[in-house]
Amino acid sequence: MQASDDKLTPAGVDRVVREVLAGMNGRHVGNGAMSHTAVARSAAVATAAKGATAPAKKTVPVTLATSNCLTIDARVVSLVDVKGRLAGVEQLTVRPTAVVTPAVRDELRDRGIRLVRATDAAAARSQVAVEVSLAVVAKNVDSATIARQIATSGRQVQLHDGDCLAAAIDFVADGVTGRRGVGVIVADQAAAAMCLANRVRGVRAVAATSPEQTAAAATEVGANVLVVDLRGQSGFAAAAQVRRFLDRDSYACPGQWIARLG
């Protein structure tokens, strides 16, 4: 039987392999052993067939962006959720079970933006707002200690320490809108700080007096700036507020408020 008579089918390959093994053991029908030429020809056929049926897999490395990542924590992600928020974005992270509408998929494809499903809340958090702009405009406050406490969460901290509230607001606003991070303002004039911060487009500042209130307020508007008023509370309580503010799956503005607060 000639190798050229065999088609490259699973049955043909199996027959060739049996003939090779039989020849090596001296039990080939009609011969004591297959010739070296026949063995080589059969092996070549088997190799070619294997290459034709099982092509090598191509591994493509994927690098996840952090500073250019947008995370949307919603069950359904529609155009309303991404409108006006994709400029400069390289990756969109969504829930593992989120429904991403075809219109959003088309928009991502046109812009060359990757769609990634976070495996859990921790994975989602690791993709967003890794840098914190911290401004301390308060007397008798150790700004370096606050910065170290924030850094223990694994986030990078940019610190502004001074007496001018307006300069502090500008510093935090630049970090939030320019580098897509989040901001924390520790100020004696907390009410003024929050009002001034919210005058800057793209800044959504909230203030609260407990970790629970902080989490609720931040989630309601997708806050990206927390104003901490140290009057009437201990440094430990203030630190707990900051941790609760930072420990969220998303800092994105809710879809219904984008037009006014985005």
Judge whether 64 lies within some domain: no
Q: Supply the CATH number for residue 171's domain.
A: 3.40.1400.10
Mark whether 136 and 211 lie in a shared domain.
yes
Split into its structural domains, the chain has a count of 3
Q: Which domain holds residue 193?
A: 130-261
Encode pLDDT of 147-179 as tens digits: 888 887 777 899 998 899 999 999 999 999 877
Compute the average pLDDT of residues 138-151: 85
Q: Whole-angstrom distance between the N-terminal and C-terminal Cα of the chain?
A: 76
Flag whether 61 is in a domain: no
Q: Are residues 149 and 230 in the same domain?
A: yes
Assess if residue 62 is contained within a domain: no
Q: Is residue 33 part of a domain?
A: yes
Q: Beta-strand (E) ranges in the chain?
A: 69-72, 76-77, 91-94, 99-100, 114-117, 131-137, 156-161, 182-187, 205-207, 225-228
What is the band of 103 on the pLDDT scale with cuts at 50, 70, 90? very high
> Could you tell me if 69 and 123 are in contact, meaning their C-beta atoms sit under 8 angstroms apart?
no
Confidence of residue 21 (pLDDT cuts 50, 70, 90): low
CA distance 171 to 159: 9
58 falls within a domain: no
Residue ending a domain, among 125, 154, 172, is: 125
Burial of 102 (0-12, 13-18, 19+ CB in 10 A): exposed
What is d(CA 135, CA 158) in angstroms, rounded to the nearest whole number?
A: 8
The token duo for 126 is 């690791």
Show which of 96, 125, 154 is a domain's final residue.
Answer: 125
Residue 46 has pLDDT above 80, yes or no: no
Q: Tell me: do 140 and 99 sit in the same domain.
A: no
Instruction: Give Cβ neighbours of residue 56 (< 8 Å, ≥ 6 apart).
Output: none
Please check whether residue 241 lies inside any domain of the structure.
Answer: yes
Whether 63 is covered by a domain: the verdict is no
